Amino acid sequence: MTKVALELSHIAKRFGGVDALTDANLRILRGSVHALLGENGAGKTTLMRVAFGMVQPEAGTVSIDGSAITLSSPRQAIRHGVGMVHQRFTIVGAMTVAENVALGGSGSFRAAVAAERVRDIGRKMGLVLQPEALASTLPASAQQRLEIIKALEHGARTLILDEPTAVLAPSEVDDLMRFLRTYADGGNAVVLITHKLREAIGIADEVTVLRAGRTVAALSGSTVTESDLAQFMMGEGATESLRGHEVAEAIPGQASAFTSNVTSSATQVDAPTNVTVAVRAHNLSVAGELGIRSVRQASFTIRSGEIVGVAGVEGGGYRELLRALAGLIHPEAGELQLPDEIAFIPELSQREGLVLEMSLMENLALKGATRAGASPHRKSSVSAARQRLESFGVRPASPRAAASTLSGGNQQKLVLARELWGNPSLIVAENPTRGLDITAAAAVHNHMREAALRGAAIVFHSADLDELLALANRIVVMFAGSLKEVSSDRAAVGAAMLGVV
């Protein structure tokens, strides 16, 4: 009989007046990969934080390998063989790979011993890293490997990963999935939090779905369909609702949360026929945070009404390019012409897009405050703010509630509600649907298409290649600081993201 690695029974947790979990149940078997799904605010991350000792529940029990345990801290969870790779990595950039792996261990630090442990795990698990490499110099995929190696070094037999493919190129996703399958087949257990239905079905042995803090389904990964999962996540009629949001064919047969049929008029705005240029760059060079040139002599134009997708892996220069277009970074060299009205949607909404202590209405009034020389908009009325929040599906849509009370997905929707307000000439977005469920993501796509039809130029990056293919009129790839336009072909874009000509 297969042993139960981790079990959470009837978990309840409140944050202030909000019920994050009310009756959540999860059962993870040894030797399995288990996908945990749910829309924004469903309680997925909170439940896994309970399993990792970061959050203590008000009710319910946690059992590891058949024994009920009260977890008061992550350190205690680690001692019981539970490891977690967070969506936002926790490595120390100023330390080497070996030093990061040794961090949190016991006894004195010996560099040679730590380095050999890194090499040993690399040989056994296929997670190869140079022990002497500085963590801050690693690309995102290698930083993720480092997080996994840290968990394995601390004896993880149950590994929880929160949206692990969000920062990976397609081939890197394949590598990660192969590792997870091998790891589980070795008698360990994997919990995969993801919004990507095809990804879940492609690897998961079992799938659990949360809705509004409750477990609504526990299913076999071999028999469940994407349509089934969507309906469990969002209720009856979810498939029809998605199609109504113009993501036709997203379920069934979707690629991640988006269709990859880039020729479909249901998923793309037609390329603009006018020749009005909203953005013009000539020999543009931009330096990153450390003063290193991240964009090298890029020349391009973006027309009004056009949606341009920017692909690239972490460290390739896409972030610096987008922030230069948003007016946040001054070019190091070259020419850059931008319109006056620019909307910017940062990827890290908690850190860069919101003041969490302020109310939702006050955050809506901060439109434009991130750009030099820009003044925040005056506050809107409570009724206007509520209407705006409701139109973007922010829950709860209470204008006077603090932004800190929202889930991560709803905080992202709050930023979108503010930045897409009005008629900006240019919209610059970093992963605008990251952390959003498929219905919310479809709604964001509609807002972006509508803005393009009104004449806005849109430039956006997404870690989900299928989203880029579904939404963009044109795709450019940033690799090692160089910009290259590529055809809207998945293989061509994926190859360019890895520097393969």
Inform me whether the pLDDT recorded for 330 exceeds 60: yes
Query: Of 244-253, 323-332, 377-386, where does mean pLDDT reach its minimum?
Result: 244-253
Mean pLDDT of 60-64: 96
SS3 337: strand
Report which DSSP code applies to 94: T
Q: Which residues have CB under 8 Å from 140's CB, separation 6+?
A: 167, 168, 313, 314, 315
Residue with the bigger pLDDT between 283 and 262: it is: 283
Supply the CATH classification number for the domain 4-244: 3.40.50.300
Asked if omega into 252 is within 30° of 0 (cis), the reply is yes
- Pairwise CA distance, residues 259 & 255, whole Å: 5
Mean pLDDT of 436-456: 86
Best-predicted range by mean pLDDT (80-84, 173-177, 355-359)? 80-84
Mean pLDDT of 417-435: 87
Inform me whether the pLDDT recorded for 68 exceeds 50: yes
Q: Which residues have CB under 8 Å from 489's CB, separation 6+?
A: none
Superfamily of domain 269-341+423-501 in the CATH hierarchy:
P-loop containing nucleotide triphosphate hydrolases (3.40.50.300)
Mean pLDDT of 87-110: 86
pLDDT at 254: 32
Is the Cβ–Cβ distance between 5 and 30 less than 8 Å? yes
What ranges make up the beta strands (E) of 32-157?
32-38, 59-64, 67-69, 82-85
Inform me whether the pLDDT recorded for 422 exceeds 90: no
Q: In the chain, where are the structural domains located?
A: 4-244, 269-341+423-501, 355-422
Report which DSSP code applies to 135: G
pLDDT at 380: 59
Identical fold, 4-244 and 269-341+423-501? yes
CA nearest neighbour of 20 among 54, 46, 55 = 46
Percent of the chain exceeding pLDDT 70 equals: 86
Inform me whether the pLDDT recorded for 240 exceeds 80: no
pLDDT at 377: 52
Which tokens in the block code for residue 44? 């997925």
Amino acid at 287: A
What does the H/E/C string look like for 245-310? CCCCCCCCCCECCECCCCCCCCCCCCCCCCCCEEEEEEEEEEECCCCCEEEEEEEEEEECCCEEEE
Main-chain dihedrals φ then ψ at residue 31, nearest 5 degrees: 80, 15
User: What's the chain's length in residues?
Assistant: 501
Mean pLDDT of 139-160: 90
Mean pLDDT score across all residues of the chain: 84
pLDDT digits (tens, 9 = 90+) for 169-219: 677 888 889 999 999 999 999 999 987 788 888 999 999 999 889 999 999
Inform me whether the pLDDT recorded for 237 exceeds 60: no
pLDDT at 233: 80
Dihedral Cα 308, 309, 310, 311, nearest 10 deg: -150
Which tokens in the block code for residue 165? 């493919």
- Pairwise CA distance, residues 132 & 96, whole Å: 6
- Pairwise CA distance, residues 34 & 94, whole Å: 34
pTM: 0.64
- Pairwise CA distance, residues 433 & 410, whole Å: 11
Query: Of 120-134, 232-246, 303-317, 439-453, where does mean pLDDT reach its minimum?
Result: 232-246
